[in-house]
Chain A
């Protein structure tokens, strides 16, 4: 597995540049190179997740070995948690790209689209894999700049306005992150995540340590659109072309925001209960405010974007509960349960939220509107879109047998076992409001009286779009298998172990 690690970054980067060069000679070059690149990446990521088996693998770029036990090279680290997130990025990316083949042909300059898409995937893979803070920053910027351009891909009024907002706030987030990295380097004199833990862990200066944590929390919180920092998300995610919305909501906010937050707070900082309480509060706020902002929306994609904030709140909440319990040192098994619920929900959210955005794109492709009041009766006209969006809506609202039910159940059980009764109650109530909001979506889009006189024009979307939606719909059902203990032990438990057992990550990288 070790020599395959750099492929996750090298292949999409090469794909991005090849697309532009080949595009000069062949008109459709981008489509095929893009599909080929993402197919390779999806296959390698599935292989990685299947074979990693609880180990932590470190790839040293250029073969720079540590000197006197101090790592000096660039490290790429692969463990079970990384492998899961890589699977999400590359599989959702592949399906979104298949969908784009027909969807994006409405726009001009298709080749630039595929090139930027590959760059975005390269950036996200890099963020997830890199083992030092500065490379996380660099790859984060690659992914962000590609996504700024992709949000503005239609160059209409709304897209430009949304991308300007997104860029200013994204730029602010990058500055906060860079400032935090500078403060860390000032004291620790190293950038390697495992080494920082050793260098700062022994005797941290309390104020300095807290300032760093707050800076990085707000920086990555901005990228993840946690509630006080959420203003850009509904605009950016609803203005982008639909496959890009699916990538942004389904993958980018997780890889660039939540993943890095989880990674640095568990593997780099020593968890303190004040920060853990702060993170849990932010999660609970996102959950509640996100869903209340969503319920009044009539634009489908804005509705879905606000639900992303709310669902990410679940992930942050459960990870926060795990952190509080770990910081107190009581009930480690409940902490493990809470974190596993959070990561399970992260995976599930990638499946159902990207599916919902693809559905919204399919509806827009045929009816030309995103306003729920102008649609109706689509269930008979677009059967595949209607049935897959029903699966996704039920998943996100937590109805059994779909995947969202199991992850929400685990989160709520963990909250009750950890004696956070109020948070458990909030989680249940938010889930019910989510259900109400999605019943509204289903009723107005698919089951209401049809808009008169449009029946002949509206039919099912072309095959590539249906294909992606059906595969994601199947994934929504199949992912609930992760709740079965044997399968959970294979994929989720080792991923949690890397986070809860700090020795495992640090010792492998430093070679102790």
Chain B
């Protein structure tokens, strides 16, 4: 149970960062922290106590394996997360060129 609670604390750390930080890059880092806490959670739910890697070995018919599906899901989600982070970073570079700042308080053309 402790691992799940630690995982949730990691999520909250990310959320805290995303809400309180003023620097665009730090917001993106906080989002990544949240993202990885969710990935960790997905990997944890597939874990079976005492299980080995899910490659079926005909010599040991009653071996215990961990659940491979969450692992496949995490791999897909990591790739998606990479795409989102790369996209965010490229937008930040463009924003920096236009506004000459990364402070979110000074980037407020859109209001109302």
Contacts and interface: CB of A to CB of B under 8 A. Distances in A.
A346 interface: no
Given A164-B91, A164-B92, A134 B73 contact: yes
Interface stretch (A14-22, A87-95, A165-173, A474-482): A165-173
Given A134-B73, A178-B42, A161 B107 contact: yes
A50 to B, nearest CB: 35
A155 B34 CA distance: 28
Given A138-B80, A160-B98, A182 B88 contact: no
A185 B31 contact: no
Given A138-B76, A185-B69, A163 B91 contact: yes
Contacts of A195: none
A163 B87 CA distance: 10
A158 B94 contact: no
Nearest to B88: A167
B31 A172 contact: yes
A79 interface: no
A168 B112 contact: no
Contact of B77 (A162, A168, A172, A178): A178
B88 A160 contact: no
Given A145-B83, A161-B107, A168 B91 contact: no
Contacts of B11: 179
A273 B29 CA distance: 39
Contacts of A167: 84, 87-88, 91
B27 A160 contact: no
Contacts of B107: 161, 164
A235 interface: yes
A186 B80 CA distance: 21
A171 to B, nearest CB: 5
Contact of B45 (A134, A137, A161, A185): A185
Contact of B18 (A134, A157, A164, A168): A168
A222 to B, nearest CB: 14
Contact of A297 (B70, B77, B80, B112): B112
A414 to B, nearest CB: 34
A157 B31 contact: no
A172 B18 contact: yes
B35 A175 contact: yes
Nearest to B111: A235
A17 to B, nearest CB: 16
B94 to A, nearest CB: 5
Contacts of A141: 80, 83-84
A174 B30 CA distance: 15
Interface string B74-105: 00110010011001100110110011000000
Interface in A177-205: 178-179, 181-182, 185-186, 189, 191
Contacts of A225: none
Given A168-B31, A171-B31, A155 B94 contact: yes
A137 B41 CA distance: 17
B78 to A, nearest CB: 11
Interface residues of A, number: 37
B42 A161 contact: no
A145 B84 contact: yes
Given A145-B87, A161-B107, A167-B88, A182 B38 contact: yes
A92 to B, nearest CB: 25
A185 B99 contact: no
A152 interface: yes
Nearest to A236: B110
Nearest to A151: B91
B95 A164 contact: yes
Contact of B84 (A155, A165, A171): A171
Nearest to B8: A179
B88 A157 contact: no
A162 B110 contact: yes
A157 B38 contact: no
B15 to A, nearest CB: 8
Nearest to A166: B91
A115 interface: no
Contacts of B2: none
Given A168-B31, A171-B84, A161 B109 contact: yes
B8 to A, nearest CB: 10
Interface of A: 134, 137-138, 141, 145, 148-149, 152, 155-158, 160-165, 167-168, 171-172, 174-175, 178-179, 181-182, 185-186, 189, 191, 235, 239, 296-297, 302
Interface of B: 11, 18, 24, 27, 31, 34-35, 38, 41-42, 45, 67, 69-70, 73, 76-77, 80, 83-84, 87-88, 91-92, 94-95, 98-99, 107-110, 112
29 contacts: A134-B76, A138-B76, A141-B84, A145-B84, A148-B87, A152-B91, A155-B94, A157-B99, A158-B110, A160-B91, A160-B94, A160-B98, A161-B108, A164-B91, A164-B92, A167-B84, A168-B18, A168-B31, A171-B31, A171-B35, A172-B31, A175-B35, A179-B41, A182-B42, A185-B45, A185-B73, A191-B69, A239-B110, A302-B112
